[in-house]
Structure 1
Amino acid sequence: MNAHDDLGQIDAIVARARAAQAAYEAGADQARYDRAAQAAGWAIMEPTRNRTLAELAVKTTGLGNVPDKIIKNHRKTLGLLRDIAEARTHGVISDDPATGITEIVRPVGVVGAVVPSTNPAATPANNIINALKGGNAIIVAPSPKGVASCELLLEYIHAEFDKVGLDRDLVQMVPAPGSKAKTQALMEACDRVICTGSQNNVHRAQTAGTPAVAVGAGNVITIIDETADLQAAAEKITASKTFDNATSCSSENAAVVVDAVYDAFVAEMAKAGGALVPADQADTIIGKLWPDGHLNREVIAQDADKMLVALGMAEQVPADTKFIAVETDGIGADHPLSGEKLSRVLALYRASDYDAAVETAKSVLSYQGAGHSVGIHTAQDERAVELGRSMPTCRVIVNQAHTFATGGSFTNGMPFSLSMGCGSWGGNSIDDNLHWKHFIQTTKVIREIPAREPSLDDVFGTYWAEAGK
């Protein structure tokens, strides 16, 4: 098939999506949108289908592990459905006599969603549910390795749609084989682009000429200060670092520990399954993790035993090792351990005191991952608030397992999402978790009201008193 035919395919599915969306919106009510979102949610959460999707994802991408993907598919979808259950995404949502404005919520139309291979079912499902909740049609563009999972997910969704009389064309995907040209055509033809994935994809989304909501890169660093509960910190970092073999953008890539508790933390980390690799062995790890300048596919998102063999560490660490923590002090392009590793490998920094730890964390984020999130394990909440004032980050995760907390948890107030906006620091237009509000827009009906024009003294009185006229 030539490029012209490829683009013709995209034109055809976008046309079908537009027709389906128009019919979906026409005469709709909130119940219709809610039912569609629930149908898509049950498509991935039904236990047999969930397991099949998880197994297929690991088989076709080679990333992550089945038990954790089952948990992720379930909890991320369940949490999202909880978040949107009471959200009003249809009709009049406010009517204010004081301003004379009536606000009506409307769909954006056809959403084009670019999704990564790290979560080839959970991320598309999240986008699809949000799109349907807002009255939209959606077309998903998976990465090449994510095609099989996306195809199966859509098969399950369409089966649920058939049960409740919804048009299958509301949820489509870029036909396989995918290509950059097809994805580009989709981004140019749809009404809003939602992009999660590589920074190359994000750049293309933001320059396609269609309004885009894209998210930045993660490279989480967590501070462990001298007041932290070290056992709890070590156990949470271990659970987070190893979940789904570190495929998440919210997985800790580095930890910086205050000198006063460094040795004690390393001891607790060892109990939790984190093996220390001394600084004099760091170059060996770097050489095997980036053998040709690129991350080693035998290490990325692999189970611990496979990763340790690939890194030549199987005989050098305890048999129950879940991840390794490599001592380093380097930050920047010449020090790859300071960047994202997509594996059960943690960079471990030692700081002379808390202020030095903060500076290390700032330097790491300034190199990579600005805007995404930073973690802190501390008994002093004011330190977390101060990080929120000074760090180039949109989220400060306090005393929690970072992977589970950043994208929404049943034990914190963040919206459930697999896509984290990183604000201006990460080159994004949003600074919050991608959620249902990014899939709607509003129309305002504006009526005349009595004038509310202030006098000059009302506006400048306090300024004149201080500075004079």
Structure 2
Amino acid sequence: MKYNIEYYLKNSEIASKEFATFTQKQVDLIVEAVAKIGIEYSEEFAKLAVEETGMGKWEDKVEKNLLSTQYIYEDIKNLKTVGVISNNKESQIMEIAHPLGPILAIIPVTNPTSTLMFKILIALKTRNPIIISLPFRAKKVCSYVAKKLLEVAIETGAPKNVIQWVSTPNREMTRLMMRDNRLALILATGGKSLVTAAYSSGTPALGVGPGNVPVLIDSSFDIKFAVEQIIRSKTFDNGTICASEQAIIIEKKKTKELLKALEDANAYLLKEQEIPRLEEVVYDKKRENMSGEIVGKSANYIANLANINVPENTSLLVAKQTKIGKEYPLSSEILAPVIALYEVADFSEALKIAMKINQHGGKGHTATIFSNDESKIREYSICMDASRIIVNSPSSQGAVGGLCNNLSPSLTLGCGSGGRTSTTDNISARHLLNIQRIAKPKIKKKSFDFKNLFLKSEKVQAVI
């Protein structure tokens, strides 16, 4: 079957040439107008996303939509992205910002409207036209959002095809587009196979690896407070953020206190005989991945699916575990209000368990710790192969930045080499620029005596 990728790429090329001529003032007016419309419609977009996908909570998706518009706008509004962006007279280096060119953005079904608006805003800020590959299960709401944002962008002076989207999502078409050399960059947030395809396409890509986030609660920390933050994060939008906690690690002497705090927060501790039934419904052993049927669903929905009777107000399903690996499904990433619980003898054993969880499907992403001991926080951080260590705060809200800390707000979280991605940063507009550097001589001379620029070691003298 032939797919019409030519239409989208040709339109993007035309838009790219026009957009490259825009001034900073023109760009900033467009970005401000688009951000405002995203903020204005944040509730409507959230409700439509839940209605179409059946995932998450609309109230929490409103917060995600505001993060991707209001917080992102505040973060990038004063960023220089056109022409000379710095001129350091001391180093004699001037930096000039250029757009990359057409960008292909892959959108996940778990966070469709927020990720869509985030990627559109940072692309517009950097004068890059964007082509959007929509998730099949959220194609209606994403098409609606993209259309709204495009209309206001054009009204504010943006090129006609600065935002495009494939209204009928098709994976093969997306893969063909990825490999086209007219594409400048792929912003890949989505399923593992698509992210892998993006990195192997031959086109530069910025993507996200999977998360399997351990949360270590140090015995000296306030257990009740830690549990409140974990519940806040893990139940947020029914656990659809990949930086949400997947396993609690606690010293045995604090288990009783932890379980009481979990009970007070309406979490349900599974009985030993209930755990296999939960594993059956949350994990697809053939695919060696979480089951798509439970992603973003409530604790009650999942418990009913597993034929487990829980109170109606149950917030979180907690399962005690002792082992980690493919044979133990609950030690893996589950994007739903389900969490593993590991009891350990001391901090040293806690570190070992956290490292194993981190290595089991979460390398490069995020790890969390609750502790007041700086030496333990540092030791934990050094041991983890994680791009961000979230301290004494909810992991989901902490990792995306801007809410609980000063990380750059983002809906695309780099996972570095550990997660097989190209950066550990929270992706933002800064990553969508080609920076040209004009380097002037350190000393004003017509010619250089290169021999005198080097130390006079015997080895150097021999080379000279």
TM-based fold match above 0.5: yes
Q: In structure 1, which of residues 300, 308, 311 is the aligned counterpart of residue 303 of structure 2?
A: 308
8 A Cα contact 1:370 1:425, kept in partner: yes
Pairwise CA distance, 1:62:
1.7
Q: From 179, 202, 223, give the equivalent of 1:209.
A: 202
1:11: how far off?
A: 1.2
Question: Offset at 1:302?
Answer: 1.2
Instruction: Name the structure 2 match of 1:29.
Output: 23
Name the SS of the counterpart of 2:435 in structure 1.
strand
Q: Hey, what's the Cα distance between the residues in 2 that align with 1:364 and 1:136?
A: 38
Corresponding residue number in structure 1 for 2:10: 15
Do the aligned residues in 1 keep the contact of 2:397 with 2:404 (CA within 8 Å)?
Answer: no
Q: Is the 2:30–2:157 Cα contact (8 Å) retained in structure 1?
A: no
CA distance in 1: counterparts of 2:311 and 2:224, whole angstroms: 19
Indicate the SS of the match to 2:319: strand
SS in 2 for 1:372: strand
Residue 167 and residue 361 in structure 1: after superposition, are their counterparts in 2 closer, same or farther (change >3 A)?
Answer: same
Q: 1:254 to 1:422 in 2, by over 3 A?
A: same
Query: Does residue 94 in structure 1 map to residue 94 in structure 2?
Result: no
Structure 1 equivalent of residue 118 of structure 2: 126
Q: Report sequence identity in percent.
A: 28
Question: Structure 2 matches for 1:39-438, cutoff 5 A?
Answer: 39-46=33-40, 49-174=41-166, 176-189=167-180, 190-290=183-283, 293=286, 295-313=290-308, 315=309, 317-438=310-431
Give the TM-score normalised by the residue count of structure 1.
Answer: 0.91
CA displacement at 1:98 relative to structure 2: 4.3
Mapped partners of 1:343, 1:411: distance in 2: 22
Structure 2: how far apart are the matches of 1:416 and 1:388? 21
The two structures have a TM-score, normalised by structure 2, of 0.92
Cα distance between partner residues in 2 of 1:296 and 1:95: 52
Q: CA deviation at 1:94?
A: 2.1
Gaps of 5+ in 1: 462-469
What corresponds to 1:455 in structure 2? 454
Q: Which has the higher helix share?
A: 1
- Is 2:252–2:343's contact at 8 Å kept on the other side of the alignment? yes
Q: 1:291 to 1:402 in 2, by over 3 A?
A: closer
Taking only aligned residues, the RMSD between alpha carbons, in angstroms, comes to 2.0
Aligned counterparts of 2:263 and 2:302: Cα–Cα separation in 1:
17
Q: Tell me by how many angstroms 1:199 deviates.
A: 1.6
DSSP-derived class of the 2:364 partner: coil
Partners of 1:260 and 1:353 within 8 A in 2:
no
Range that drifts further, 95-104 or 194-203: 95-104
Out of 330-339 and 67-76, give the one that drifted further.
67-76
- Structure 2 residue runs without a partner (length 5+): none
Contact 1:121 1:150 in 2 (8 A): yes
- Which shifted more, 197-206 or 275-284? 275-284
Q: Deviations over 1:37-59 (max 9, x none)?
A: 2222223211xx22222122112
User: Shift of the alpha carbon at 1:420?
Assistant: 0.9
Aligned partners of 2:458, 2:160: CA distance in 1, in Å? 56
Query: For 1:143 and 1:459, how far apart are their aligned partners in 2?
Result: 63
